[in-house]
Structure 1
Amino acid sequence: MDKIAVLIPCYNEAQTIQAVIDDFKKELPEGTIYVYDNNSTDDTYAIAKAAGVKVKKESRQGKGNVVRTMFREIDAECYLLVDGDDTYPAKDARNLCREVLENGADMVTGDRLSSTYFSENKRPFHNSGNVIVRNLINYFFKGNIKDILTGYRALSPLFAKSMPVLSKGFEIETEMNIHALDKNFVIKNVEVDYRDRPEGSDSKLNTVSDGLRVIKTIFQLFKDYRPLLFFSALAAFLTVLAVILGIPVFLDYFRTGLVERMPTLITAGFLMLAALLNLSCGFILDTENKKARQNFELQLNVLHQLIKGGNA
């Protein structure tokens, strides 16, 4: 088992991967560096291989797929996850790892937003998007994570081995945050510097499409992790619609003794029925979710003992 495993998922990072490897070799000489190439069409794989680090290929496209394979194949006391685009200085790595190795943190986020991100990042929609996503997750899941979409994280083995990676792409950061908040893992924020990509190095992210995918993931996970609140909100919305449609019909009936708008009354009735069904689904799924959480905690205890045995 490695003391520190530096995990670098890469896709077409030939311009920057050498600098990233050199920096982390210098700052974390005790760390084992793993580069997982995700179908790069440039020389990323060859450059990393020549640099003398452990290099593997992941054929399934997407960062989520790469991280899933990394967590499955690598055993370490601390996992340091960093992008291969040379935007995260290696000088902050030891501070992140210290929170896991010495202070018992399960997930440590490298907080760019409190330091240089807004001055260095040249894509204004990314700035506002980061703030929106951070506020949504912290509001829905009662958290205080400073930087939701950071690619610079230190993770405990308990977190990495229990993390059910379901997303295939860039949404993996969102998924990790929500998993950590929902399962009550110990989360720490460490301020880190950020620098924009060097000239000629292009981002793989699309501001609009990837932003929409992240927001979609938040609401999907909100439904999965908070079903009672999700379906109760939907039931409340349907109830309001039913009342808005139904009240005029009942007022007419009390005034004239006739139901003059039968289709409207039927629509209001179906809306109210749908509201009751959604509320029932919320209660049922909430009960199942609590049972799943209980099973997860029991399995987490077993996993913790296995990891301790592996470290002994």
Structure 2
Amino acid sequence: MYSESITNGESGPSATVSLVVPALNEARNIPWVFEQIPACVDEVILVDGDSSDATVPMARHCLPTVRFVRQEGPGKGSALRAGFLAAAGENVVMMDADGSMSPAEIPHYLHFLQNGYDFVKGSRFVEGGGSLDITPIRRMGNQVLLAAANRLYHASLTDLCYGFCAFRRSFLDQLDLHATGFEIEAEMIVHALRSGLRIAEVPSLELPRRNGRSNLHAISDGRRVLRTLLSERPGAHSLTASVRTAS
């Protein structure tokens, strides 16, 4: 457990929280996700990728106060960028709609934002974390991409391709997001590193998708992540980053 306590008024206990949830045909998973959202979340933004099922009506039924945002262009990255721009909270949390991430973990992420960190990312590979869903090929791909990220950015991350993150919305411009697909998760992390944001990793348990099939394609999306790591690597930009692992 990381024991240092750093207070920061901007992101203190009263900071408002927006939860951004990208979704495409997740009607059967939305109830499980929404019923577990903790009270510390002030607004929930569902970014719908033109679902052909009852994702939007189901979300409205489960949470009448949910805000809907339509993404422009396909891909998870396009959805998240639209949600981030619409978010009103001082702190923004992003998580998937498929039931693989537990909303009950959100307070743990917010704890580190409330104690001096700027960007908090989940890790399945630190003590207390894990995955009940990752396949051997995805695990191997994540390890290769993680090693590349740590080498290129002089970091000590333990997980890379995992989309449960939280950050201070005031740093959205520094994150400078342009990705349209699953590579946005890597883009967020390397831009946070490049900008010198204070980053914490917290343990997270990845659960199996509850219903349906994932839109992730390990080979093609892995190539997109690698291209992102190579194209965004420090060159003209100086890099000073410190990553701590917390449990």
Question: What is the TM-score normalised by the length of structure 1?
Answer: 0.67
Question: Bigger CA drift: 67-76 or 11-20?
Answer: 67-76
Are positions 1:56 and 2:69 aligned together? yes
SS at match of 1:91: helix
Of 135, 138, 161 in structure 2, the residue corresponding to residue 126 of structure 1 is 138
Distance 1:35 1:218, change over 3 A: same
State the alpha-carbon separation in 2 of the partners of residues 166 and 213 from structure 1: 13
Instruction: Confirm whether residue 175 of structure 1 aligns to residue 187 of structure 2.
Output: yes
After TM superposition, give the deviation of residue 2 of structure 1 in Å. 7.2
Equivalent pair of 2:90/2:170 in contact (CA under 8 Å) = no
Partner Cα separation in structure 1 for residue 15 and residue 51 of structure 2: 27
- Corresponding pairs, count: 222
Aligned partner of 1:21 in structure 2 is 34
Q: Which residue of 1 aligns with 2:200?
A: 188
* 1:133 partner SS: helix
1:44 alignment partner AA:
T
Q: Is the 1:149–1:173 Cα contact (8 Å) retained in structure 2? A: yes
Give matches, 1:101-250, under 5 Å: 102-114=114-126, 115-117=129-131, 120-198=132-210, 200-222=211-233, 225-226=234-235
Cα offset for 1:30? 4.3
Q: Distance in 2 between matches of 1:140 and 1:189?
A: 19
Is the contact between residue 17 and residue 40 of structure 2 (CA under 8 Å) also seen in structure 1? no
Residue 186 of structure 1 and its aligned partner are, at CA, apart by: 0.4
Aligned 8 A contact 1:72 1:161 in 2: no
Partners of 1:144 and 1:79 in 2: CA distance: 24
Residue 39 of structure 1 aligns to a residue whose secondary structure is coil
For residue 35 of structure 2, give the secondary structure of its aligned residue in structure 1: helix
Calculate percent identity across the aligned residue pairs.
25
The aligned residue for residue 32 of structure 1 is: 43
Contact 1:2 1:75 in 2 (8 A): no
Give the Cα separation in 2 of the matches to 1:116 and 1:59. 33
Q: State the Cα distance separating 1:161 from its structure 2 match.
A: 3.8
Q: Which amino acid aligns with 1:45?
A: V
Structure 2: which 5+ runs fail to align? 1-13, 240-247
SS in 2 for 1:155: strand
Task: Return the letter of the residue paired with 2:46.
Answer: V
Inter-partner Cα distance in structure 2 for 1:111 and 1:5: 21
- Structure-to-structure mapping, 1:39-78, within 5 angstroms: 39-51=50-62, 52=64, 53-78=66-91
Q: Which runs of 5+ in 1 are unaligned?
A: 227-285, 294-312
1:50 Cα shift?
A: 2.1
Query: Per the alignment, do residues 94 and 218 of structure 1 end up closer, same or farther by CA in structure 2, a change over 3 Å counting?
Result: same
Greater fraction strand: 2
Higher relative contact order (CA 8 A, sep 6+): 2
Amino acid at match of 1:149: C
Is the 8 Å Cα contact of residues 121 and 127 (structure 1) preserved in structure 2? no
User: 1:99–1:105: 8 Å Cα contact kept in structure 2?
Assistant: yes
- Cα offset for 1:85? 0.8
In proportion to residue count, which structure has more helix? Answer: 1
Deviation per residue, 1:132-161 (Å, 9 max, x gap):
111110111011222211111111122224
Query: What root-mean-square deviation, in Å, do the aligned CA atoms of Structure 1 and Structure 2 show?
Result: 1.9
Mapped to 2, the partners of 1:89 and 1:155 lie a distance apart of 17
How many Å apart are 1:164 and its aligned residue? Answer: 1.2
CA distance in 2, matches of 1:153, 1:29: 16
* Structure 1 position 176, deviation (Å): 0.5
